[in-house]
Amino acid sequence: MSSSPSPERLPLHTPNLAAERLERLRELLPGAFAEGRLVPEKLAELVGAAALSSAPERYGLGYAGRNEALREMLAPSAGTLRPDREASVAWEDTGNLIIEGDNLHVLKLLQSAYAGAVKLIYIDPPYNTGNDFVYPDNFRSGVAHYKEQTQQALSTNPDTGGRYHSDWLKMMHPRLALARNLLKEDGVIFVSIDDHEVANLRLLMDEVFGEENFVEAIVWKKSYGGGAKTKYIVGLHEHVLMYARAKERIGFLSLPPDPKVLKYYKFKDDKFEKRGPYRTQPLATTSMDERSNLRFPILWQERRSGPRSNGSGRQNV
């Protein structure tokens, strides 16, 4: 009597990132370990730095809960991803994937299959305006407990809580670090943000991706005109921070031009063909209609090197 083959078992735990990094460090610098443990002082000596216990103060980002956030990033996550064929459309043919779940757990689950494989990441995180995001108090919870929490045990982040910016940074730090692991060497990430946390996000991304991998801070106009709720100055802009996994690898970036504008670029020049077609713009007009108040005369007066006589006893300057 033959038995049917057992179904393939799915892994229930993500890789232990802390153990993997220690192993890689052990291979690179075995002298930094003693009796199987990492010795910070030995590591500092081998990399030519001062001992960590006496290291001078340095520029960097610090916030309450920072160490806990890094531990949460390295802690394995219990769970796995299961396909939902009934809720899917064109399962066999689609090239798209939607994953539903807490993004910290999901990012950990993606490390095995997609590490170093993602070309572009765009995220639109909570802007930390006070009540725009909620978070579980304990990210170590299992999936079942997390589902329970999402119904009744979540906390908001009011600006009167005493750790307003720290709570937000603690939420963002492990997620950005895990997202970086997913990027290809020529991959890039875009993060939308407004004025509430743009300064802190810039410092955090400088640390996670490296200040040298900052590409651009894009400013875009989100609205026009005033607002009834405006107390000081109307905020019309938001930001998109762009970083690369390795800036020197991304090459030249270009966006497709607007077809409505492209039709005006109808002239070509063989000498500058590589720079693309061009259009002419009359400099005599500064707008679509004639506006005399936008025209300013340029006065010119000849200056001579010194006074001279005109033959009549008078001197001209």
Q: SS3 of 102, please?
A: coil
Q: What are phi and psi of 292, to 5 degrees?
A: -65, -25
Architecture of domain 64-84+97-223+232-252 in this structure: 3-Layer(aba) Sandwich (3.40)
Condensed to tens digits (0 to 9), the pLDDT of residues 12-46 reads: 677 788 888 888 888 888 778 876 778 888 788 77
Condensed to tens digits (0 to 9), the pLDDT of residues 54-82 reads: 556 677 788 888 889 988 888 888 888 88
**Tokens 């689609």 found at:** 94
Read off the pLDDT band of 317 (50, 70, 90): very low
Q: What are phi and psi of 32, to 5 degrees?
A: -85, 0
Given the DSSP bridges, would you call strands 118-123 and 183-193 parallel, antiparallel or unpaired?
Answer: parallel
d(CA 61, CA 244): 20
pLDDT, position 42: 79
d(CA 154, CA 134): 6
**Single-letter amino acid, residue 10:** L
Read off the pLDDT band of 141 (50, 70, 90): very low
Read off the pLDDT band of 225 (50, 70, 90): confident
pTM for the full model? 0.65
Contact between residue 108 and residue 14 where contact means Cβ atoms under 8 Å apart: yes
Q: Say how far residue 238 (Cα) sits from the centre of its chain.
A: 14
d(CA 9, CA 98): 22
One-letter-per-residue 3-state SS of 201-239? HHHHHHHHHCHHHEEEEEEEECCCCCCCCCCCCCCCEEE
Contact between residue 217 and residue 188 where contact means Cβ atoms under 8 Å apart: no
d(CA 87, CA 173): 32
Structure tokens of 58? 């340095």
- Domain range list for the chain: 11-58, 64-84+97-223+232-252
Read off the pLDDT band of 239 (50, 70, 90): very high
Contact between residue 187 and residue 244 where contact means Cβ atoms under 8 Å apart: yes
